[in-house]
A = this chain, B = another copy of it.
């Protein structure tokens, strides 16, 4: 049952709709008469151990709605990964402030933090309800059909490649766009959402679910270029060789790691540059350009899937509902697709999600490992929402007969 004080925090990388989940959890919690205060911890679990709390009960609905529509974590975030001692500190603070319910909005690492906090509470007979609320642009949480944040990020990637495709058709050449996604290729695969006509790019898509072979890559690019006079490539930042070594870590002088031991893949343009250099060196193609999409993918103001907004709000509100009615102390809210297209929400076991990684299923990737299948488009299309812009082209069959015929 929801009562007394409820605490909410946000962890990991921000998304375009993570604040919808925050607002959903706040507003739904406050509807239960036993709930006196809803607190927010600043910068995730680190804000708990530092007692950095805001009293969100003092927020008006109007401002909460405005914050909900704002991208990124309004409470701030953290990459901290609690260990045993950290959990003891969290427990001590929660007890001191008499907090009975903790909602943690986050991805794989945050769900594992929620698991640790929940298990520590159980072990120490601390009467705490701990529910994980899903979010991650990477779309790599187990059990979930997809995760809040992914549809909007996918819309960004689709919109970017749809524009790049037009640009590249106007000024021909090779274009390599590097997309976020360490282990799961969903974000990179979403580049295909920007295709309209049969010859639209991206013409090649390289995912971390498959081994990346530089020689094969150059040969693939050359083949497309020879056919169309241009070639657009979507590449996941997480591409790796047969040994599992990321292509980027082969090329970087220093490799930066976070507290979770993850190599820093974003915030550097190195991968796109090196892949472009490779094409220039091994082919005679002169115009080769590369971009690394970087942080814009998860934060760009105004690029939001309406489906994503609704679902992100729902998982927050459902967490409050499950905390009150499910009779369970711990769990993670999960999204399940039903029909075409609707979803339902369940309270699943945290251990089924925590620190696990879902990748693209084999039937979403083509045999050659350099493109997606119609199965993936079937999966992606409803997620992009109702407001994807469209592209059109002039009718190129209306050619004017040449008079001079100089060539």
Binding site for B on A (CB under 8 A): 10, 13-14, 39-40, 43, 49-56, 58-59, 63, 66-67, 69-79, 92-93, 96-97, 158-160, 162-164, 166-167, 169-171, 175, 194, 266-270, 272-273, 276, 288-296, 298-303, 388-396, 398-400, 402-407
Contact = CB atoms under 8 A, between A and B. Distances in A.
Contacts of A163: 71-72, 295-296, 299-301
A237 to B, nearest CB: 12
A52 B175 CA distance: 25
B400 A97 contact: yes
Given A66-B390, A70-B393, A393-B67, A51 B406 contact: yes
A395 B58 contact: yes
A301 B303 CA distance: 10
Given A70-B391, A162-B301, A268-B276, 8 more contacts: A54-B395, A56-B398, A58-B395, A73-B170, A96-B403, A160-B301, A164-B296, A194-B301
28 contacts: A43-B170, A50-B407, A51-B402, A51-B403, A51-B404, A51-B405, A51-B406, A54-B394, A54-B395, A55-B400, A56-B394, A59-B394, A69-B390, A70-B166, A70-B391, A70-B393, A71-B163, A71-B166, A72-B163, A74-B170, A77-B171, A78-B171, A159-B303, A160-B300, A162-B301, A167-B298, A267-B290, A270-B273
Contacts of A391: 70-71, 301
B270 A269 contact: yes
Contacts of A402: 51
B54 A399 contact: yes
A286 to B, nearest CB: 8
Given A292-B269, A296-B296, A170 B51 contact: no
A-B CB proximity, top 8 nearest:
A269-B269, A267-B289, A291-B294, A163-B299, A72-B166, A66-B392, A53-B400, A73-B170
A171 B18 CA distance: 14
Contacts of A56: 394, 398
A14 B171 contact: yes
B175 A295 contact: yes
A40 B267 contact: no
A396 B293 CA distance: 32
A32 to B, nearest CB: 20
Given A171-B14, A400-B97, A403-B51, A394 B299 contact: no
A407 B388 CA distance: 49
Given A67-B392, A394-B56, A302 B159 contact: yes
A50 B171 CA distance: 16
A76, A394, A398: residue with the most chain B Cβ atoms closer than 10 Å: A394
A79 B287 CA distance: 12
Contacts of A293: 291, 296
Contact of A59 (B301, B389, B395): B395
Contact of A291 (B54, B273, B295): B295
A50 B399 CA distance: 13
Contacts of A396: 54
A291 B177 CA distance: 13
